[in-house]
Amino acid sequence: MKVILLILLNISILFGSYVQEEIWWKGDSLLTFFKKHNIDKNLYFNLSKTDKELCSEINAGVRYEVFYDDENIINQILIPISEEMQIHIFKDLDNKFALDIIPIEYQQTFQTISMPITSSPYLDIVRNTGNRALANAFMLAFKTKRVNFKRLKKSDNLAIKFKQKIRNGRYFGTPEIIGAILEVRGKKHFIFQNPDDDRYYDNNAKALVKTKFMTPLRYKRISSHFTYKRWHPILHKYKTHLGVDFAAPTGRELKATADGRIIHLGRKGGYGKTIIIRHKNGYKSLYGHLSKYNRKLRVGSRVKQGDYIGNVGSTGRSTGPHLHFGIYKNGRAINPLKLLKTNKKKSNGKLKTKYIQVAKKIKKDLLKVLKIKQVPMNIQEFNNVDKMPKSYLSFDNSMRENYGKI
C-alpha cells in the first residue's frame, strides 16, 4: 500500500510540492518536534520499545528532510538516526501519520588517493577532495601515532585508502580510513585499520591506541546483540539495535568502561535514565535503562575506568531489567563486543598473523598510489549537490528485501 502511496507522492512532487532540508537542534526531541508540527503524540507513545530506543538516537545537528505537498502541508519526513537507518514519518491511507524505521539509501566508494603536501595535511586534503570529514579522520588517526607535523617538508607526500558513503550527491557519514601513509622528511609513517577491532595499528602490528574497554557489569547473559540493519522476514521490517543488551538484576552496579568525562546524565527517550561518557580518541559509551545514578556524578564529572556510575534498571521500557550498552566511534555506533573481545585476545598469535596479511595488501595499494601523487578527478564531483538526483525520492517498499541482504 505504501508503495502506491509513495508513487502518488512522487507524481505530486512534480506539481508544486517541495522538500525542505532542516537541522535537528540540540534539546529537540521527537515529542517536541511532533508538537511543533501538529502531529499526534500518540504516534510516539504507541511505538514498540525498540523503535522508541532508536528514536532517541537522533543527533543534534543532523540534517533531515521535510516533504510538503502543493498545499504546503507536510506529507513525509525523513530523519537519520545512524549512518544506516532513518525515521520515516508518512501519511497512511487514512491520511494519518505513521512512523517506520527504514534504511538510508547511499552509495559507497573505496578510493586510494595521494597528494604532495604543500601547506598542511589537513588543508591539502580539504583542497584536493572537498571532504573535511576525511581531513579530520586523517588527523585523528595520525594523532595516535604522534607524528611531528611541524617537521613536514614540501617534498613530503601522503596517501589514504578509505571508504566513503555518498548520499544525495554529498559526502555522508564518517569516512573510514582503512590505511594511510604520511611522509615526514621522506620517512614513511604507516597506519592500518585492523578489521578485528577497527582500531589503528602500525607497520609492526603495534596498537596505536592503548585504551582498553572493560565490560561495565557482571551479567547473566546477552539478551540482544548489536546490528546495524537486519531484515526480519516474519515481522517484515528492519531490526536495528545500536548496542548490546546485558540482562542483569535491578540494582546491579555499573562501571565506567574506560576513563572519560560524563557528557549526559538524565533521561533520554526510549533509553530511560541514561549516562553517556566521552573517552579519548573519538569514543563515547552509552548506558541505558538505569534505575539510579551515582549521586556524586554530574555532567562534566571525570570518571576512571571501573568507577561506579549507576545501577541496572528498566527505565524507559517495561520488560526485564538490563543494561543497554552502546559504543560510538567518531559519532558512529560500533559493536561493543568487538572492542571488549579483542582486549581478551590481544596476545593471540593467529590474530596478529591475520592482521599482518591484511596490512600487507593495503600497504601495497598505498605505495603504488603514493608514487602518482594525484587525486583522481572524479572524487570532487560528489561535492556538487545540485547535479545529483535526490535518490531517496525513489525509495519504495519493494527495495526493502534487497537492502536486507547487504
Our CB check for Zn ion shows the closer of 160 and 276 to be 276
* x-marked contacts with Zn ion along 2-21 as a string, rule CB under 5 A: --------------------
Q: Which is nearer to Zn ion, 324 or 329 (CB)?
A: 324
Q: Any residues with CB less than 8 A from the CB of 163 and at least 6 apart, and which? A: 108, 109, 110, 175, 176, 178
Is 113 or 248 the residue whose CB approaches Zn ion more closely?
248
Q: Is 324 in the site for Zn ion (CB under 5 A)?
A: yes
Interaction between residue 52 and Zn ion (CB under 5 A): no
Q: Kindly identify the residues of this chain, within the stretch 166-185, that bind Zn ion according to CB under 5 A.
A: none
Please say whether the dihedral angle defined by the alpha carbons of residues 81, 112, 126 and 167, taken in this order, is positive or negative: negative
Minimum distance from residue 353 beta carbon to Zn ion (Å): 35
Give the nearer residue to Zn ion in terms of CB position, either 57 or 245.
245
CB of residue 137 vs Zn ion: minimum separation in angstroms? 28
Contact residues for 150 (Cβ-Cβ < 8 A; gap 6+): none
CA distance 192 to 199: 8
Nearer to Zn ion, 52 or 199 (CB): 52
Quickly list DSSP for 160-220: EEEEEEEETTEEEEEEEEEEEEEEETTEEEEEEEETTTTEEE-TTS-BS-------SS--S
CA 113 to chain centroid: 24
Where do we find the cell 514519518? Answer: 89
Residue 105 DSSP symbol:
P
Min separation Cβ 289 and Zn ion, Å: 8
- Angle formed by the axes of helices 121-129 and 132-143, nearest 10°: 150
For Zn ion, which stretch binds (CB under 5 A), given 20-28, 116-124, 323-331, 382-390?
Answer: 323-331
Rounded least distance, CB 82 to Zn ion, Å: 14
Residues near Zn ion (CB under 5 A), total: 2
Q: How far is the CB of 224 from Zn ion (least distance, A)?
A: 6
Q: Which residue is nearest to Zn ion (CB)?
A: 324
Minimum gap (Å) between residue 218 Cβ and Zn ion: 18
Q: Which of 151, 222, 213, 212 is nearest to 182 (CA)?
A: 151
| Nearer Cβ to Zn ion (117/333) | 333
In terms of Cα–Cα distance, which of 227, 319, 246 is closest to 288? 246
Dist CA 406 CA 399 (whole Å): 12
Cβ neighbours around 82 below 10 Å, total = 22
Residues between 229 and 268 with contacts to Zn ion, criterion CB under 5 A: 245
First CA to last CA across the chain, in angstroms? Answer: 24
Nearer to Zn ion, 169 or 270 (CB): 270
Shortest reach from residue 313's CB to Zn ion, in Å: 13
Residue 124 contacts Zn ion per CB under 5 A: no
- Contacts to Zn ion by CB under 5 A: 245, 324
